[in-house]
Amino acid sequence: MLDPGMTGQGGLRVKIVDVQTFVVGNPPPHFGGRFWVFLKLTTDGGVVGYGEVYAAPFRPHVVAAMIEDVCARKVLGEDPFKIERLWRRIYSSGYTQRPDLSLVAVLSGIEMACWDIVGKELDKPAYELLGGQVHERLRSYSYLYPEASDRGDVYLEPDLAAERAAEYVAMGFTAVKFDPLGQYSAFDPRQPSLEALERCERFVARVREAVGTAADLLFGTHGQLTPSGAIRLGRRLERYQPLWFEEPVPPENVDAMARVARQIAVPVATGERLATKYEFARVLEAGAASVLQMALGRVGGLLEAKKIAGMAEAHYAQIAPHMYCGPISAAADVQISACSPNFLIQESILTGGGFHSEIVKTPIQWQEGYLIPPSGPGLGVELDESVLGEYPYTDQALHLEMVEEPV
């Protein structure tokens, strides 16, 4: 076992000497995205760390090449303990030094893998190295997902959604999420129609009736609405006491989101499409949201997420990390949630089973509505590399795609 006190003294005692990438097709029903991009860093001592790059807006094999390029220029030969130094050098690569989602997503996966290595070298979970464990279990929520036997669309039909929500509560969930506005478009934001407003209110009313006070309701959108449209919808939802109204307007204009937050009595949540402390600082300064949903495979990694959680704490805001990803980024979410005092709730994809559990050696445990932070070192999960090659990604679509015509 490495003596951490020796790290970096008299030259690098630990060096990253290899990088490998994996593009994995997520088979139907594709919950968590169409594909996942993983990376593995290996040290000169044979210790490996895994990372995941979330939803960079390029085809996955292009993203894999980007990872290899960044690692060749900035990572190989470096000490994985020097995370702040690596972060600044990669973030500033090519005279960028701004929250570029593609570069920061690559940086996130690399940073994640470094924490995995550091935790293994010290035989500690990452959360113990980022302030120590605060939460022994993490309250979780899930989207309402379709099933093969469905005779309708659970995303749009209130009665089916209510039935599914009641099933999830019986499983142990104390919160469920849904987004009945329908398709999101490259031409959003838009003003919702009266029919859409009525459908959304009826949807929430039926789900609330089905679960009573046994579960919180999380109303999602994907930045589909104008501020005035979001306010009209938000005021309709107030009587049903949702825990949050997610990304009511696109994330690029925090003043517009703040206008919504000021005029409705529902907490606003945002963050899955934001990167770095700098973008989240603007959200907090504007009062645009009280729940921050950083995606660990995009935001800048674990330490950056911890900094954002600290800023949020100073503003009495809470974190609810976004998890529509593969199992490595999901594990990073769990690590940061476990050590953050202002943790609210953690997204999970159902109970974390299915393909998510098939490609890791020891899946994260889900028990009666809660995720249990792993006690193993680093991120606490290991990819089963013998399985990954069985699931190549051969499609051309990106992780998520927007409708390319106005809705």
CA–CA separation, 32 and 337 (whole Å): 19
62 with 151, same domain? Answer: no
Residue 329 lies in a domain: yes
Query: How many domains is the chain built from?
Result: 2
Contact 84/17 with Cβ under 8 angstroms?
A: no
Residue 59 lies in a domain: yes
110 with 141, same domain? Answer: no
What is the SS3 assignment for 253?
coil
Residue 402, CB-side half-sphere exposure with 13 Å CA sphere: 17
Residue 313 lies in a domain: yes
204 with 350, same domain? Answer: yes
Range of the domain at 68: 4-123
Residue 392 lies in a domain: no
The encoded tokens of residue 238 equal 């107030």
335 with 243, same domain? Answer: yes
Per-residue pLDDT in tens (0 to 9) along the chain, 407 residues: 444 444 443 344 899 999 999 999 999 999 999 999 999 999 999 999 999 999 999 999 999 999 999 999 999 999 999 999 999 999 999 999 999 999 999 999 999 999 999 999 999 999 999 999 999 999 999 999 999 999 999 999 999 999 999 999 999 999 999 999 999 999 999 999 999 999 999 999 999 999 999 999 999 999 999 999 999 999 999 999 999 999 999 999 999 999 999 999 999 999 999 999 999 999 999 999 999 999 999 999 999 999 999 999 999 999 999 999 999 999 999 999 999 999 999 999 999 999 999 999 999 999 999 999 999 999 999 999 999 999 999 999 999 999 999 99
Q: What type of residue sits at position 266?
A: V
Residue 393 lies in a domain: no
Q: Which residues are catalytic?
A: 222, 322
Closest CA to 61 of 384, 360, 395: 395
| β-strands 35-43, 48-53 pairing | antiparallel
Q: Could you tell me the CATH number of the domain that includes residue 210?
A: 3.20.20.120
The encoded tokens of residue 201 equal 């209110």
108 with 172, same domain? Answer: no
Q: What's the pLDDT at 13?
A: 87
pTM, whole model, 2 decimals? Answer: 0.96
The encoded tokens of residue 207 equal 């789900």
Q: Could you tell me the CATH number of the domain that includes residue 50?
A: 3.30.390.10
CA–CA separation, 367 and 138 (whole Å): 10
Last residue of a domain, one of 98, 123, 148: 123
166 with 68, same domain? Answer: no
* DSSP symbols for 136-151: SSEEEEEE----TT-S
64 with 149, same domain? Answer: no
- 291: which strand partners? 269, 318
Last residue of a domain, one of 96, 123, 150: 123
CA distances from 199 to 143, 164, 165, 204, 274 (A): 18, 17, 17, 9, 29
Q: What's the pLDDT at 352?
A: 96
Last residue of a domain, one of 85, 104, 123: 123
Residue 385 lies in a domain: no
288 with 351, same domain? Answer: yes
Residue 383 lies in a domain: no
37 with 151, same domain? Answer: no
Burial letters 317-348, b for 16+ CB under 10 A, else e: bbbbbbbbbbbbbbbbbbbbbbbbebbbbbbb
Go through the chain and tell me how many residues it has. Answer: 407
Q: What is the largest CA-CA distance in the chain?
A: 69
117 with 180, same domain? Answer: no
CA angle (341 as vertex; 208, 313 as ends), nearest 5: 90
Q: What's the pLDDT at 10?
A: 38
296 with 245, same domain? Answer: yes
Residue 386 lies in a domain: no
268 with 161, same domain? Answer: yes
